[in-house]
A and B are shown apart, each in its own frame.
Chain A
Amino acid sequence: MNHQLKAEVLKIRSTRTTMGLLLGLIALALLFTILTCTLSPTSQVITEQDQVGLLSFGSIAGVFAALAGIMLVTSEYRFGTIRPTFLFNPSRRRLFGSKIAAGALAGLVFGIIGEGLVFGIGIIILKARGIPITMSAGNITVLIAGAIVGTALWGILGVGLGAVVPNQVGAVISLLAWGFVVENLVFGFLPSIGRFLPVHAQDSMMGLTTQHLLPGDGGVAVLVVWTVALASIGLTMLKGRDVN
């Protein structure tokens, strides 16, 4: 691990913010999984796609990973630590690269915990209810890999968004408004465009086959393109921006 990446990981570990996000993710994943897996009528959780859909809630970890990524950049501006950070590592490209790597690592952890909880608890509850697991090994692999890799990419997207919008409140509102409002509106009214947006691209990655979604590999490609694009814009803005 290079020096700056080590420092970035320490920044994540040394405040309570990331732990708070992780606890929030765990609570939400447990609540949703227990309620839906317990209360859904058997007829609605019996097919392969029903079960993939039910157990794909782990993708919510992407929101938390993106928030952690946003914090990696915006906290530095909010509290002024960006000044010593730049003084100790004036190569903004290298610094941003380390933040991207730290965001991806945080995303991986969030993805493993989020999808791990949803899948593990969900399967236990379904089996306890006597519902047969109809998902194939392939479905399960795509579901879990798509959730974890997608969440890691959301961690990077968060870092990119934080670099584009260094105001913490602005960046968080932008993320939530995009993820929960804008994308759903666009997908609802213009699905041919909406399926190319990042949240729905991750749905594709996890093997969901909802109408209008891209195929899985298309979802991967689209989310990677979004990630690279936002990170590139973020790096350009970070490099050009004076620190006041």
Chain B
Amino acid sequence: MKKGLLYLMGVLVFLVLAACTANESTGTENKNGEGEKAGDEKILQLNNGEEPTSFDPAIGFDNVSWNALNNLMEGLTRLDEDHTPQPAVAEEWDVSEDGTTYTFYLREDANWSNGDPVVAEDFIFAWERLLNPKTGSSAGFLGYFIKGGEAFNSGEGSTDDLGITAVNEKTLEVELENPTGFFLHVLTNPAFFPVNHQVAADNSEWHAEAESFVGNGPFQLESWEHDNEMMFTKNDAYWDADSVNLDGVHWAMVNDTNTEYQMFERGELDSAEIPAELSDQLIDGDNVQVVDQGGLEFFRFNVTEEPFQNKNIRKAFALAVDQENITEYVVKNKVKPAYGYISPGFTNPSGEDFRDVNGDLVSFDPEEAKQLLEKGMEEEGYDELPTVTLSYNTSDLNKEVAEAIQGMFSENIGVDVELENTEWNVFLEDQKALNHQLSRSSFLYDYADPVNFLESFITGSYMNRTGWSNEQYDQLIANAKSEADEGKRWEYMYEAEKLLAEEVPLFPVRYYNQVEVLQEGVTKILRHPVGYLDLKYADKQ
């Protein structure tokens, strides 16, 4: 009897094993197939994390879209290795003396992947779409530099009032609201990419599938399996195809940093982020690339709530935070502590860095913090400080930073704050409605000019969310946005930042960076401080 049973079990086990072995061998064959293909050609294997939101330049206003879009398409200008704008579709341009009219001359050999030439009309079509309130683009504000842009986007103007005209097929004239010294920078943003207007007229969903996608960048979209993978191949019709080293790029969509790193270890990816737990181990490795990202992690005071209506109390809290401790032991990954609001990397016309000129404005000083707190409490007549709650949007890292700051407040100024966290969308609603007292915030630049950040804190700005309002500050920003003389414009911005540091409606914690570990032989993956990725010059040995 027992023998029969054993026999039965044996058969079952054998069946299961057989099934597994069969699967395994199929897997190996498949892998070999892939391996051979990668051997012949230079295919870079990257991970996009998730599905791009949209390849419609007006809609895909986020990193998951830009990673791909910036390599499939190209605007009038393109950032180079030093993150400065260089001629791209525009071969050259003239700027009027008052700095408000730009005339762009498009390349004769700039073509779409379907063979059509890239013409001025393509830009006009794309930009009108970007600004049309019916499009629902969240990048619309970038077009406000263009004359009539804000009015049209607010539903008050029409396309006729927009300052963009096609002088002829290959010449585009752009009128601006104000002289905007960094306009060529703004134009590198994917929101300003052209759209083949003839293709779009036939099929408004041209950007939704690989078959119908028409681009003008260094790569073309070979295949796109939604939520799974994308394949790019080199675009031989690209005007600068000779500079492109890769034969293609394969994009996986793996939305888990640990899995991503494990795939990297296994050689299935050429680049990976460094998971937080492995930072200490990996950050000093040979193939680690660390690049600055323009941006700031900071905390907003709500100046309409006690006790932060008082400037000295705000300042006391700001000076009680040891930024270096946070970057060194909490965030890690070689991020830099922020002693000012504007991140390093913005250079004025004479080549000096904004940060160097203005220096450290908010540095850790527990002694002064204590004195300021006492002074502030006296001014307000407090015997005891009202309860303070520090809010942040739920994430592991935000929690660690908040706890570190909680400890610093307790240790340095003897204040025990409570912590509170909510999901991002709820958090943002509360922050906008000024329901927080002290809340975590972050800012990432859209274009390379300090005014991008500074103008957030003018009276009534959507980005303000502190309740803070200062006439002098508003005036400085207005000047910084309209001044034709670049030297003077920078002076206004220096002054504005100093005023922020004086009034402290917010305090800085750290700047951002972009860290990745690369496979040996992978070079020139450009990550710009404004957040987009460029693979035009990338190479793989």
User: Is A bound to B?
Assistant: no
